[in-house]
A and B are shown apart, each in its own frame.
Chain A
Amino acid sequence: MPTLQQLEDLTRQTRRDIIRMVHKVNSGHPGGSLGCTEFLVSLYNEVMDLKDGFDMNGVGEDLFFLSNGHISPVFYSVLARRGYFPVAELNTFRLINSRLQGHPTTHEGLPGVRIASGSLGQGMSVAIGAALAKKLNNDSHLVYSLHGDGELQEGQNWEAIMYAAGNKVDNLITTIDLNGQQIDGSTDDVLPMGDLRAKFEAFGWEVMDIEEGNNLEAVVKGMKEAKSRTGKGKPICVLLHTIMGNGVDFMMHTHAWHGKAPNDEQLAIGLEQNAETLGDY
């Protein structure tokens, strides 16, 4: 079980990985990645029950599905630093012949990835399927998924939300990255989604908020609380309130860095704000 300091060190190092990865290839999605760093670091190092090594079926361990695949930089960094593949491979992000495609895929055989994502709105259905397989296999482990808030504009999510509650898929914890931003602006400006808690509850989900989604202690505590609510007949929705671009001051609170890489000078500032902890790749 890592200490809080160890989780903080991992978080800071992951932030460095994210901005260095997108800077090198002058492409990729730093904003959403930075906003979800505390969440994914906590999930993979404190919350989920994981086996050593990787096999696709993942029987006997918790599973995670990233639906908003564009935040691949944070996903890759967390997977590498959890030991799924060599940290040095982060250096190949988005390059030709790399297993670290722009959006995550199983197609190149990258350990830790169980589904391709990038075209939005599909991950919750996949997570439900995996959760149903766990029930068929009498495997009491849980399935986690992460989705952007803007992503909920895709209609398939609402098919999945209806199904999961209607069929009591109670071994599923779905987290919504509530950063309030999408490519064209704030979610409220682009397409207001109204009261998401009320919507999930109306569909029959157990809903909880993590108000400080960029506070490691709050995230760990919240996700453990979410775990304790599984197995009671309802799927769990966690509304994770985050700040897009968290940890790099000029990227924070704006959609401007959704899919834009920092230049040399901006990278230097970002790295200065996040001192090396575990060693750069």
Chain B
Amino acid sequence: MKKYIDQGKNDTRSGYGAGMTELGRTNPNVVVLCADLIGSLKINQFIEENPDRFFQIGIAEANMMGIAAGLTIGGKIPFTGTFANFSTGRVYDQIRQSIAYSDKNVKICASHAGLTLGEDGATHQILEDIGLMKMLPGMTVINPCDYNQTKAATIAIAEYEGPVYLRFGRPKVANFTPADQKFEIGKALMLNEGTDVTIVATGHLVWEALIAAENLESQGISAEVINIHTIKPLDEEAVLKSVKKTGCIVTAEEHNHLGGLGESIARVLATKHPTPQEFVATNDTFGESGTPEQLMEKYGLNNKAITQAVLNVIKRK
């Protein structure tokens, strides 16, 4: 199996910050908004270099979304920043009317998504945001897997015209994708070719999927691993091509199984190529306090859970 090397653990939110720093230097239309979370979003460098293009909104996320929509009128490309929970559920109607329905070129950048936010607990650990955002007509939804990919995605969405939801996280995780990658919105990445099962993962679960594939290889199971960093628009072709070869699929995400990546893939498979599928996702539940590792273990979102899901789905072929 193809080997992936962790170049040194880093947080995806720092990838966002690094992407913003680069955009600050290369794209004069990019502006950054933040709701009292500069340090959490790692945007200090952008602010230091571009004080006129930074807007501190205060703890007022609804106002932030509206101001971002207004800034596009005049040709600016606003990037909003706060935790994923406050980037979506808290301001859903503002996003729906002032950004999505109004076709505004706003980039909604959301840190601390999912259980890996950790000790703060369920009030801050949104597991419904992918569903909320993918349901909005015209909204692009991206969940990159590591530092390098988050940086590349941040830079790429500035070039794309239209509203985008960019989801990333808090903890330091393996950084294994190339530093010089070009991020292509909507294009799935084949990480490992296999023949017995397809594992499709997004966000922090991609690295876990690779570990699972190694475990499975030692058991004689050949797993194909695909990184779906863009949940919408979904690379249906890549998924269909793979399952036609392997005959079964496991989807893995740090999100509720209701409304997440797995459901998007199930819709494609149900209509175009019915295939046995198992979901690695949370089971219609809120999170709780704990370390990221403890939570991912308790809620079944790690390489062990993926390995078990593969064993289950292969039996259903």
Contact B60–A162 (Cβ < 8 Å): yes
A128 in the interface (beta carbon within 8 A)? yes
* Bound complex: CA A134 to CA B72 (Å): 11
A116 in the interface (beta carbon within 8 A)? yes
A58 in the interface (beta carbon within 8 A)? yes
**How many inter-chain residue pairs (CB < 8 Å) link A and B?**
118
Q: Which of B92-100, B270-278, B294-302 contacts A (4 or more CB under 8 A)?
A: B92-100
Select which of A107, A123, A134 is within 8 A of B103 by beta carbon.
A107
A56 in the interface (beta carbon within 8 A)? yes
Q: Which 4 A-B pairs have the closest CB atoms?
A: A129-B70, A125-B66, A133-B74, A159-B63
Given A57-B75, A106-B103, A136-B31, check contact A129 B67 (CB 8 Å). Answer: yes
Contact B71–A130 (Cβ < 8 Å): yes
Contact B73–A133 (Cβ < 8 Å): yes
Query: Chain B residues with Cβ under 8 A from A65's Cβ?
Result: 70
Write 18 A-B pairs (CB below 8 A) sorted by A numbering. Answer: A115-B73, A115-B98, A122-B93, A122-B94, A125-B62, A125-B64, A125-B65, A125-B69, A126-B69, A126-B70, A132-B70, A133-B76, A136-B76, A156-B63, A156-B66, A160-B66, A160-B67, A163-B60
Contact A115–B69 (Cβ < 8 Å): yes
Query: Chain B residues with Cβ under 8 A from A130's Cβ?
Result: 70-71, 73-74
A20 in the interface (beta carbon within 8 A)? no
A8 in the interface (beta carbon within 8 A)? no
State the Cβ distance, A220 to closest chain B Cβ, in Å: 26
Contact-residue size bin, chain A (C-beta under 8 Å from the other chain) = 35 or more
Query: Chain A residues with Cβ under 8 A from B71's Cβ?
Result: 129-130, 132-133
Contact B102–A116 (Cβ < 8 Å): yes
In this complex, which of B62, B63, B94, B101 has the most chain A Cβ atoms within 10 angstroms of its Cβ?
B63
A57-92 contact mask (Cβ, 8 Å, vs B): 1 or 0:
111000101000000000000000000000000000
* A residues whose Cβ falls under 8 Å from a Cβ of B: 56-59, 63, 65, 105-107, 114-119, 122-134, 136-137, 139, 155-156, 159-160, 162-163, 166-167
State the Cβ distance, B190 to closest chain A Cβ, in Å: 37
* Bound complex: CA A123 to CA B98 (Å): 8
In this complex, which of A65, A117, A132 has the most chain B Cβ atoms within 10 angstroms of its Cβ?
A132
Contact A122–B66 (Cβ < 8 Å): yes
B78-122 contact mask (Cβ, 8 Å, vs A): 1 or 0:
100000000000000110111001111000000000000000000
Q: Is the interface of B mostly helix, strand, loop or mixed?
A: helix
Q: Using CB atoms, name the residue of chain B closest to A121.
A: B62
Contact B62–A159 (Cβ < 8 Å): yes
State the Cβ distance, A58 to closest chain B Cβ, in Å: 6
State the Cβ distance, B194 to closest chain A Cβ, in Å: 43
Q: Using CB atoms, name the residue of chain B closest to A167.
A: B55
Q: Using CB atoms, name the residue of chain A closest to B74.
A: A133
* Bound complex: CA A46 to CA B64 (Å): 32
Given A125-B70, A160-B63, check contact A119 B93 (CB 8 Å). Answer: yes
* Bound complex: CA A128 to CA B68 (Å): 9
Given contacts A130-B74, A133-B71, 15 further A-B contacts (CB under 8 A): A57-B73, A59-B74, A59-B75, A63-B73, A105-B101, A106-B101, A122-B62, A122-B93, A126-B70, A127-B70, A129-B66, A129-B78, A134-B74, A155-B62, A156-B66
Q: Using CB atoms, name the residue of chain A closest to B69.
A: A126
* Bound complex: CA A105 to CA B67 (Å): 17
Query: Chain B residues with Cβ under 8 A from A131's Cβ?
Result: 70
Query: Chain B residues with Cβ under 8 A from A58's Cβ?
Result: 73-74
Query: Chain A residues with Cβ under 8 A from B97's Cβ?
Result: 116-119, 122
Query: Chain B residues with Cβ under 8 A from A159's Cβ?
Result: 58, 60, 62-63
